[in-house]
Amino acid sequence: MAQLYLPENPRVRAQLEGGETPPDRKEQPRRPRKPRRFGGIDLVVFLAFIATATLIVLAAARWTTPLTPAVTIDLSPSVLPVYAGYSLLRMVLAYLLSLVFTLVYGQIAATNRRAELVMVPLLDILQSIPILSFLPAVTLALVAAFPHSNIGLELASVILIFTSQAWNMTFSFYHSVRTLPADLQEVSAITRLRPWRRFLVLELPSSMIGLIWNSMMSWAGGWFFLMASEQLTIGNRSFQLPGLGSYLQAAANAGNTGAILLGLATLIVLIVLLDLLFWRPLVAWADKFKVELSSGADAPHSPVLDALRRSALIALVNRKVFRPLGRVLASLLDRLQPLPGASSPAPMPVQASRFPPVRKVAGWVFVFLLAVLALFGLWSMLRLLIQVDLGTWGTLLLAAFATWLRTLAALLIGIAWTVPAGVAIGLSPKWSRRLQPVVQVIASIPATARFPVLLLALLGLPGGLSWAAILLMLLGTQWYILFNVIAGAMAIPTDLREASTVYHVSGWRRWRTLILPAIFPYLVTGMLTASGGAWNASIVSEYVQFNNHITSTFGLGASIASAAAAANFPVLLAATLLMAIFVVILNRLAWKRLYALAERRYTLG
């Protein structure tokens, strides 16, 4: 779904514009394109590939070593590059897992009405379950599955980072597919695109801008929970993995301000490099997927993307490997997926069998096993929940309302500044280039690493940690709204913006008739994921550990964190279940209705 331009052929252009057809001209033979020569950029690409392979080999060697749950975290500066590499590899693996989950889960939920009835509420529940609630169970299960190596611990860290990345990406992709322009859907139906081709040429390109900006937000969320995923205490058992998160957590526990600043500096350098080498080229590349009839004068630009396009090595690999592989896969998928509406040959008559087909039997067996597993899980939950007395349930319910008020305050404060700031950044490529790395750095620095610095000052204010918890929730969740608003503003077609300028639509009228309707679907996605993120952030904002001292305030997040630290699984399950119920009810009452409004009134068509 690239930008739509009139053809370069003058005869075709004249016919489309309704003018006279120019006389035929003898076509000038095209000069053969000169082959690209290998140069400095190819050497850089090759060295980057070697460095990546080396990091994977080193990480694989550590993964296969005997299990060492308790690792002494070295706070010397010399280990920071290695720790940064380990953390980066875990983030990459978690992001790839999140991307696959997003494309598969979001596409099925958006295109299959029956599946949507189950998958979207399930996604609400998965988003609402806080990471620290199932972190002990996941860690212990994977450690038990791999008792003789560190694979279980590493997989637990990757899966837990995945849970902080996947949900907002999935919601963004799901909503982009649901709000496809009607004319483009009609074209895909008329041309009888196979499902996989419709996915590649329509659904994925239309969601690319929002998906990239939500991917950046997912990375920020991954950094936010990196400290929790690399260092965990369950009762009297402690699990650590070498990385930036465990380094910052160890420095905070020791009260070592110098080590905290060194860890943050390393994290900032890593974030800036990722923005320069990865995210900014992706933003510039995705600009071609805007639905518009004319190209903007000041499109996003990336010197790294321009250099990669000149690389002879990348062109050679693309020509010799990826294109042939793509043709083979396309041929295979065309055989597996017939054309929509194509009549299949009549089946050969077969003798009726008294026995049901094997496929139906396999389906019954799968449903039976799934029902047994669900009943076993429900029975296990009930056995834990009956251990929680009524007084504890009442306290948890009051704590849930206290946390809800904090999340609501953080959400309103976030909306108040992120909407105008996001629109200003998204509508100006110049400011987008300048502020994108700044926003990335600020959003990606774990609020839990910055919070100890603010905690000493905030504890002296009236309200103490109760107000400080709102600030930490805001630091961790406002970026969901900002990144989605930026994506929505960048996706506004240039021709609509030019029309508003031509007709002198400015001020509040421009906001009311163009900007707010255009960004509304993205804003709903941002508020939905920010709300779920605020509930998750309540765990680390209402229960803070700094310099071997624990400070907490009344709330559901503090209840979950204290129950996890004490390995009190009945209270942990009860508090987690209560948080999931609160989030799902809010999503059904508020966010689902806003989604329906966005699909009904604010879809580009």
Q: Cβ distance 142 to 566 under 8 Å?
A: no
Same domain membership, residue 226 and residue 159: yes
Residues 314 and 167 in one domain: no
56: Cα within 13 Å, side-chain hemisphere: 8
What pLDDT is stored for residue 396 in this prediction?
92
**Does the residue 370 lie in any domain?**
no
Number of CB atoms found within 10 A of residue 189's CB: 12
**Nearest to residue 437, comparing CAs of 285, 287, 269?**
269
The dihedral sign for the CA sequence 475, 479, 482, 486: positive
Q: Note the residue count of the chain.
A: 605
Same domain as 429, residue 324: no
**Same domain flag for 134 and 46:** no
Residue 155 falls inside a structural domain: yes
Q: Which of 286, 316, 332 is the last residue of a domain?
A: 332
d(CA 48, CA 66): 30
Residue 16 lies in a domain: no
SS3 state at 547: coil
Q: Does 48 share its domain with 147?
A: no
Tokens of 403: 């946390």
The pLDDT of residue 394 is 92
* Cα–Cα distances in angstroms (integers) from residue 99 to residues 172, 216, 533, in the given order: 12, 12, 19
- Same-domain check for residues 441 and 572: yes
Amino acid at 327: R
Whether residue 555 contacts residue 467, with contact meaning beta carbons closer than 8 Å, is answered with no
> How many domains does the chain divide into?
2
Q: Is residue 25 part of a domain?
A: no
Which amino acid, one-letter code, is at 597?
L
Question: Are 285 and 417 in the same domain?
Answer: yes
Which of 332, 351, 379 terminates a domain? The answer is 332
Domain presence at residue 383: no
- Count other Cβ atoms within 10 Å, centred on residue 103: 18
Classify residue 116: in a domain, yes or no: yes
What one-character DSSP code corresponds to residue 64? Answer: T
What tens digit of pLDDT does each residue of 28-61 get? Answer: 555 555 566 777 888 888 888 898 888 888 888 8
Q: For position 461, which CATH number holds?
A: 1.10.3720.10
pLDDT at position 455, please? 66
Note whether 432 and 294 are same-domain residues.
yes
Rounded to 5, what percent of the chain is helix, strand, coil? 75, 5, 25
User: Residue 590 domain-assigned?
Assistant: yes
- Same domain for 320 and 421? no
Q: Are 292 and 4 in contact (CB under 8 A)?
A: yes
pLDDT for the residue 11? 45
Tell whether 28 is covered by a domain.
no
245 in the same domain as 232: yes
The domain of 43 spans: 36-63+304-332
Those residues of the chain that have pLDDT short of 50 are: 1-22, 24-27, 343-345, 347-348, 350, 352
| DSSP letters spanning 446-510 | -HHHHHHHHHHHHTTSTTTHHHHHHHHHHHHHHHHHHHHHHHHHHTS-HHHHHHHHHTT--HHHH
Query: For residues 148-170, b (16+ Cβ closer than 10 Å) or e, as one string?
Result: ebbbbbbbbbbbbbbbbbbbbbb
pLDDT exceeding 70 applies to what percent of the chain?
81
Asked whether residue 434 falls in the same domain as residue 577, the answer is yes
Tell me if 263 sits within 8 A of 287, measured CB to CB. no
User: Where does 205-251 show beta strands of DSSP type E?
Assistant: 231-234, 237-240
Same-domain status, 195 and 280: yes
Sign of CA dihedral 508, 512, 514, 520: positive
